[in-house]
């Protein structure tokens, strides 16, 4: 049975590449869909291959890309969709801008998917860190471009100490709480 929300929300997962954002988003979306909610995941890889094709990785290009995603997320959320965004989104000021855009109409949850640089370098699922350290990739977050961890995130998920299943449950619980549907 489908649950129709008057307004959804945007859960914005931020963290270093390889921290587990997409895995958590996917598992959380599956759980929520299983409960009857309408859910969309907007992931960095998908967005860069579709709506942000051609955007680079300079600070301004990243900002433009993420602001575009914030507006799309807001539109979906105001129409009753739970939107889970999975983006490195390395800069605090841009994340604050994203929050402001979304919160004009719908709830917003900033989720810090925390993992140390040494851990994500070991994981390196796409081989990006290896390429960055070899000089093949420029502006790699954590290597030659900064990642500014959130100072006051709504939720912290530490993927060094939590399993993906536990992490996704934490996210689902927070989403339901924010929607007034949970404990």
Count CA atoms within 13 Å of residue 161 on its CB side.
5
Alpha-carbon span 73 to 85, nearest angstrom: 8
Cβ neighbours around 47 below 10 Å, total: 20
d(CA 126, CA 78): 34
Beta bridge partners of 67: none
Report the SS3 class of residue 140. coil
Q: Which of 52, 89, 167, 168 is catalytic?
A: 89
Q: Residue 3, by phi and psi: left (phi above 0), alpha (psi -120 to 50) or beta? A: beta
Q: Quote the CA–CA distance of 142 and 112 in Å, as a whole number.
A: 15
d(CA 85, CA 3): 21
Is 89 annotated as catalytic? Answer: yes
CA–CA gap between residue 31 and residue 27 (Å, rounded): 6
Residues acting as catalytic residues: 89
């Amino acid at each position: 049975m489908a649950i129709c929300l008057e307004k959804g929300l945007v859960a914005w997962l931020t963290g270093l590449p390889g921290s587990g954002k997409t895995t958590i988003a996917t598992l959380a979306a599956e759980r929520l869909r299983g409960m009857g909610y309408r859910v969309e995941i907007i992931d960095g890889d998908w967005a860069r291959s579709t709506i942000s094709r051609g955007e680079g990785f300079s600070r301004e290009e990243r900002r433009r890309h993420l602001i575009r995603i914030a507006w799309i997320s807001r539109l979906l959320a105001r129409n009753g969709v739970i939107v889970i965004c999975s983006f490195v989104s390395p800069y605090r000021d841009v994340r604050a801008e994203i929050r402001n855009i979304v919160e004009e109409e719908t709830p917003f949850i900033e989720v810090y998917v925390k993992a140390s640089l040494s851990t994500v370098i070991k994981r390196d699922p796409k081989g990006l860190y290896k390429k960055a350290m070899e000089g093949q990739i420029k502006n790699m977050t954590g290597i030659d471009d900064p990642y500014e961890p959130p100072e006051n995130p709504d939720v912290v998920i530490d993927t060094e100490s939590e399993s993906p299943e536990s992490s996704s449950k934490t996210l689902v619980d927070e989403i339901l709480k924010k929607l007034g549907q949970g404990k």
